[in-house]
Amino acid sequence: MEFGNEAIQHLNETRKWTLFLSIVGFVFLGLMLISVLIALAAGSNRFPQAGIAGGFAFLIMLIFCAVYFFPIYCTTPLIFNTTVSSVALL
């Protein structure tokens, strides 16, 4: 499959935006993990009667973080390894 110069320029622009959004995704993932840990620590100190419910909420949030992590992590190497010349060869 061959692409023209205009198509390659559009793909290169898309690659830059994808890289930016993956970095933003990693930042928000880190903020989510920090907020989950803070909520777990604050909840266990302030509401000891919550018991298993606090741990269950922590587990659910960790599952959400894992689901959020893998699409970002799996697409990031593709962004860094794609160049205009390799796109033209596809």
- pLDDT number for residue 12: 83
Q: Buried b vs exposed e over 47-77: b needs ≥16 C-beta within 10 Å?
A: eeeeeeebeeebeebeeeeeebeeebeeebe
Query: What is the DSSP code (8-state) at residue 82?
Result: -
7-56 pLDDT, tens digit each: 888 888 888 888 888 889 899 999 988 988 887 777 666 666 656 666 77
- Separation between Cα atoms, residue 73 and residue 29, nearest integer Å: 11
Would you list the domain boundaries of the chain? 26-81
Residue 74 has which token pair? 């799996």
Its pTM stands at: 0.66
